[in-house]
Amino acid sequence: MEITFLGTGAGVPSTKRNVSSAALRLDSGEVWLFDCGEATQHQILISSITLSKMTKIFITHLHGDHIFGLPGILGSRSFQGGESEVIVYGPKGLADFIDTAIRISGTYLRYPLRIVEVEDGIQVNESHFSIKVALLEHGIDSFGYRIEERDKAGTLNVEKLKALGVQPGPIYQKLKSGSSIKLENGQTIHACDVTGPTIKGRHIVVCGDTRFTEKTIDFARNADVLIHEATFSEANTRLAYEYYHSTTVQAARIAKDARVEKLLLNHISSRYQESDVVGLVEEARNIFENTDLMEDQTSVQIPLRKASST
């Protein structure tokens, strides 16, 4: 899995940072988009992402810098031949926005489009993932999404099975799914004796714009990656509170208390210049060492967790 940041700025585009969007590329090749500010499709044009592979879009909240790229990206995906269904998740009001833009502009979509308006606490279960949703604190409804890749069974020890006289066949699948089997000689083989350690699924938490809230700590608990806004520096903690945003240090505190593996900061105010970035990262790292501040077109690999035995 890899996440590519397409827009890491706040509020309005600048020449250095576009408005919000990030694309998660799954091992299957599918792309899941998080937020879609204006010109997200333009950012995709200069990235290695293929629009037709985009199958889900998660909208954290309805502010323009997070949604104004939606009508265009949906239309262009059709124009480029995308035919598979797209599901867009987001707050109440999202369907009205998308439907109106598509209808008024006469945009033709050659693929099915489904819009799912989410609520605090809901969970969506997919075959390989579950998706959890939490309401954060931003004046208007702003959500975090927790993407949990399901754990996978460890690798079968084929050598050991053959030594036991078990030949490949449906029995292998049974063992792989965790069941025990009984051989003709009466011997019972437990799955755990012939499979390697479970491959832990990765958990990625993407937060929308938000004030610091304790709730995020629970929501991000033990995640592999936490993507959290850091609109302001610590010096502007008061401004952050007034405008329902977070500081670098607040994001780092959440990462630390939630014991996440890695913290990626985005949604950086245009008041900060390139030369300020070192300082912004530094104040976060003082709290939580494994922090990086994202730039547009930065890609971050999300490695498999260290294996643990079943």
* Neighbour order of strands in the sheet with 31-34: 113-117, 86-90, 54-58, 31-34, 21-25, 2-7, 299-301
| Site residue total, a copy of itself (CB under 8 A) | 36
65 labelled catalytic: yes
CB of 198 to a copy of itself, least distance (A): 43
135 binds a copy of itself (CB under 8 A): no
CB of 118 to a copy of itself, least distance (A): 15
Q: Do 210 and 136 form a contact (C-beta atoms < 8 A)?
A: yes
CB of 302 to a copy of itself, least distance (A): 28
| Nearer of residues 231 and 250 to a copy of itself, judged by Cβ | 231
244 binds a copy of itself (CB under 8 A): no
CB of 235 to a copy of itself, least distance (A): 22
Q: Which two tokens stand for residue 21?
A: 């969007």
Q: Where does residue 118 rank: exposed (0-12), middle (13-18), buried (19+ CB within 10 A)?
A: buried
- DSSP letter at 51 equals G
Of the residues 27, 35, 65, 193, which is catalytic? Answer: 65
Per-residue binding letters, 17-56, with a copy of itself (x by CB under 8 A): -xx------------------xx-xx--xx----------
Q: Which residues contact 147 (CB under 8 A, 6 or more apart)?
A: 24, 32, 129, 131, 203, 204, 205, 206
Report the interface residues with a copy of itself, using CB under 8 A: 11-15, 18-19, 38-39, 41-42, 45-46, 62-64, 67-69, 71-72, 75-76, 79-80, 93-94, 96-97, 100-101, 104-107, 140
What are the catalytic residues? 65
